Amino acid sequence: MSTRTASIALTVLLLAAALCPRATGHAQAPMFNLLTATEAVAAIQPDAATAEPADLDDGEAPGEGQARDPLASDMADGLWTRGFIQHRIVHFTFDDGPRPSTTRPILDTLDQYGIKATFFVVGRQLAGRHHAEERALVREMAARGHTIGSHTWDHSNLTQLSDEQIQMQIDLSEDAFMQTFGERPWLFRPPYGARDRRVDHILAENHYTEVLWNVSGWDTLTRDPDEMLTQFQAQLDRQERHPRGPGGIILVHDTHEHTVEALPMMIEALRGRNCELLDQPGEELWDIVDDPRIFYSARGNRDPRMAPSVQLDEETIAARQAIVRAQAETYCR
């Protein structure tokens, strides 16, 4: 047993005790059933019969002469962001997976539209011999060009945990990533978006960049894909008037059947807006970017705080808009 695993074994009981339901009625329960200390240690041990190599590219040559890092090591140590940007630029993100029955069709839809997304996965869904299929699926995400971040070990509300228990959530999740990729992740989304200064500092000490959102797909509030679309359109309308800009980071979940159905409707809604804007001089079209890098701002020596609204230079916007307009000319005509 490694030193890291032994440390986890000694402290995981504290985590389990703290996460048990309390009588106050205020605590949000974890999404998944909790493990005992013995089960947690067993879960993070690689199983010789089911361990898979951490080959991220499935033998394919990396693009543009440089290997792509699906765990986004170049986005470590950033200011936390909600995705505010002074342009019609959005990025799709998915929480709570992987779940093969729903994650796989979502990946197929993204491929169909040529869109890359970021998936924030729950570490427990990758750990141990019983989750070999899920580990294979997140490696498939990477091979398809998507970015992958941590969504804690078991979807706990970090603001309700002690410092030691928050660190345990980080360590257990990182060990699950090590089983899957041979590397740790660098992007992090706290469940429920629940964060505070204490959580921010602990995540910063672990070199994470927190990625939150400012547009919701509403898939935890309704099971109706049409209602999801209505609410998505309403939020885009509100973002158009937002002082920090119209664009942002979109949150949906790759664990719902209704999200599988709604996702192409949401993408078509963005395309429809572009078709309306295409012949309007001076109007930016909606640009779906491949990763959250455009929202990244290095933290440096500063305390954790929210990243400022992004303002791109004219040359960068012109180059991006030329590509988006060429694409819109194809699907709008």
Helix (H) or strand (E) holding 253: strand 248-253
Q: Per the residue annotation, which of 151, 253, 256, 258 is the catalytic one? A: 253
* Bridge pairing between strands 147-150 and 118-121: parallel
Q: What is the pLDDT of residue 39?
A: 45
φ/ψ bin of 92: left (φ > 0), alpha (ψ from -120 to 50), beta (otherwise):
beta
Per-residue pLDDT of the chain (333 residues; tens, 9 = 90+): 555 554 554 444 444 444 443 333 333 334 444 444 444 444 445 443 344 444 444 333 333 445 689 999 999 999 999 999 999 999 999 999 999 999 999 999 999 999 999 999 999 999 989 999 999 999 999 999 999 999 999 999 999 999 999 999 999 999 999 999 999 999 999 999 999 999 999 999 999 999 999 999 999 999 999 999 999 999 999 999 999 999 999 999 999 999 999 999 999 999 999 999 999 999 999 999 999 999 999 999 999 999 999 999 999 999 999 999 999 999 998
Which of 173, 193, 168 lies closest to 184, judged by CA? 173
Amino acid of residue 208: Y
Q: What is the pLDDT of residue 68?
A: 80
Out of 1.10.10.10, 3.20.20.370, 3.20.10.10, 3.40.50.720, which CATH number does the structure's domain 74-332 have?
A: 3.20.20.370
Contact between residue 262 and residue 98 where contact means Cβ atoms under 8 Å apart? no
Interatomic CA distance for residues 187 and 210, integer angstroms: 6
- Give the chain's end-to-end CA distance (angstroms, integer): 62
Interatomic CA distance for residues 201 and 260, integer angstroms: 35
Q: Calculate the CA 310 to chain-centre distance.
A: 19
Contacting residues for 35 by C-beta, under 8 A, at least 6 apart: 12, 16, 43, 124, 154
Entry pTM = 0.84
Q: Is 224 a catalytic residue?
A: no
Q: Using alpha carbons, list the distances in angstroms from residue 262 to 102, 138, 141, 258, 274.
A: 12, 22, 20, 6, 19
Q: For the residues of 85-107, what is the DSSP string, one character each?
A: BSSSEEEEEEES---HHHHHHHH
Q: For the residues of 105-158, what is the DSSP string, one character each?
A: HHHHHHHHHT---EEEE-GGGG-SGGGHHHHHHHHHHHHTT-EEEE--SS---G
Q: Which long-range contacts (CB under 8 A, 24 or more apart) does 216-222 make?
A: 216/250, 216/251, 216/252, 217/250, 217/251, 217/252, 217/253, 217/259, 217/262, 217/266, 219/252, 219/253, 219/256, 219/258, 219/259, 219/262, 220/253, 222/258
Contact between residue 124 and residue 138 where contact means Cβ atoms under 8 Å apart? no
Interatomic CA distance for residues 3 and 175, integer angstroms: 12
Q: What is the pLDDT of residue 127?
A: 93
Q: What is the pLDDT of residue 50?
A: 40
Adjacent-strand bridge partners of 253: 95
Q: Per the residue annotation, which of 95, 171, 254, 287 is the catalytic one? A: 95
Q: Is 253 a catalytic residue?
A: yes
Burial (Cβ within 10 Å: 0-12, 13-18, ≥19) of residue 64: exposed
For helices 132-143 and 163-181, angle between their N-to-C axes, nearest 10 degrees? 70
